[in-house]
Amino acid sequence: MKFLMVSEDGIGAHVLKMIENEGNEVSLYIKRPDCRDMWDGLLPKVKKVNPTKDTVVIFDTSGFGKLADKLARAGIPVVGGSAFADRLEEDRQFGLDLMVEAGIKVPFSQEFDKFDGIEEFLASHDEGRFVFKPSGKNLPSFLTYVSCDNDDLLEYVAYVEKNYGKDVESFVLQEFVEGVAVSTELWCDGEKFIRPAIHDLELKAFMDGCLGPATGCAGNLLWTESGSCRISSSGLARVESQVVASGHVGPMDLNAIVNDDGVWGLEWTPRFGYDSTPVQMFMFNKEVGKFFSDIARKQLDYDMPLKDEFGAGVRFSIPPYPLEPPAVGDAQKVRPNGGIPIRGLTDKNAGSFFFYEVMEDDGKLVHCPGTGILGVAVGVCCKPWEAWELAYGALGDLKVPELQYRTDLSDKIGCLYHKVEAQDGVSIGAIPEIELEETLGEEVSGQ
pLDDT tens column, 428-438: 333 333 333 34
CB 277 within 8 A of CB 291: no
Location of each CATH 3.30.470.20 domain in the chain: 180-444
Mean pLDDT is lowest, of 53-62, 231-240, 322-331, 372-381, for 322-331
**pLDDT > 70 in the chain, percent:** 94
Pairing of β 78-79 and β 55-59: parallel
- Residue 435: predicted pLDDT: 37
CB 182 within 8 A of CB 231: yes
Average pLDDT score over residue span 115-135: 90
What is the side-by-side order of every strand in the sheet holding 78-79?
25-30, 2-7, 55-59, 78-79
- Residue 338: predicted pLDDT: 95
Tell me how crowded residue 145 is: count the other CB atoms within 10 A of its CB: 20
- Residue 387: predicted pLDDT: 97
d(CA 198, CA 273): 12
424: pLDDT strictly greater than 70: no
- Residue 447: predicted pLDDT: 66
- Residue 189: predicted pLDDT: 96
d(CA 6, CA 16): 10
CB 225 within 8 A of CB 426: yes
C-alpha distance from residue 9 to each of 5, 32, 157, 203, 226 (Å): 11, 6, 30, 24, 35
139: pLDDT strictly greater than 90: no
C-alpha distance from residue 261 to each of 180, 231, 419, 423 (Å): 12, 12, 14, 11
C-alpha distance from residue 248 to each of 81, 242, 365 (Å): 7, 10, 36
Place 117 in a pLDDT band, splitting at 50, 70 and 90: confident
d(CA 440, CA 244): 38
Q: What is the CA radius of gyration of the chain?
A: 21
Pairing of β 180-189 and β 2-7: unpaired
* Fold held by 108-175: Dna Ligase; domain 1 (3.30.1490)
219: pLDDT strictly greater than 90: yes
Average pLDDT score over residue span 381-389: 94
Under CATH, which number does the domain 2-88 receive?
Answer: 3.40.50
CB 256 within 8 A of CB 182: yes
- Residue 423: predicted pLDDT: 64
- What tens digit of pLDDT does each residue of 34-83 get? 999 999 999 999 999 999 999 999 999 999 999 999 999 999 999 999 99
d(CA 135, CA 88): 11
Average pLDDT score over residue span 10-21: 98
- Residue 446: predicted pLDDT: 52
Location of each CATH 3.40.50 domain in the chain: 2-88
Average pLDDT score over residue span 386-399: 96
d(CA 440, CA 180): 11
The DSSP annotation for 64-75 comes to -HHHHHHHHHTT
Q: Which helix (H) or strand (E) holds 353?
A: strand 353-355
- What tens digit of pLDDT does each residue of 298-325 get? 999 999 999 999 999 999 999 999 988 8
* Fold held by 180-444: D-amino Acid Aminotransferase; Chain A, domain 1 (3.30.470)
Please indicate whether residue 443 or residue 147 has the higher confidence score (pLDDT).
Answer: 147
Average pLDDT score over residue span 210-236: 91
- Residue 230: predicted pLDDT: 87
Place 106 in a pLDDT band, splitting at 50, 70 and 90: very high
- Residue 147: predicted pLDDT: 93
Q: Mean pLDDT of all residues in the chain?
A: 91
- Residue 135: predicted pLDDT: 87
259: pLDDT strictly greater than 60: yes
- Residue 226: predicted pLDDT: 83
d(CA 87, CA 124): 31
Location of each CATH 3.30.1490 domain in the chain: 108-175
Place 444 in a pLDDT band, splitting at 50, 70 and 90: very low
Place 181 in a pLDDT band, splitting at 50, 70 and 90: very high
**pLDDT > 90 in the chain, percent:** 81
Q: Which helix (H) or strand (E) holds 415?
A: helix 409-424
d(CA 9, CA 328): 10
Alpha helices (H) along 125-213: 150-164
Tell me how crowded residue 286 is: count the other CB atoms within 10 A of its CB: 12
CB 424 within 8 A of CB 395: no
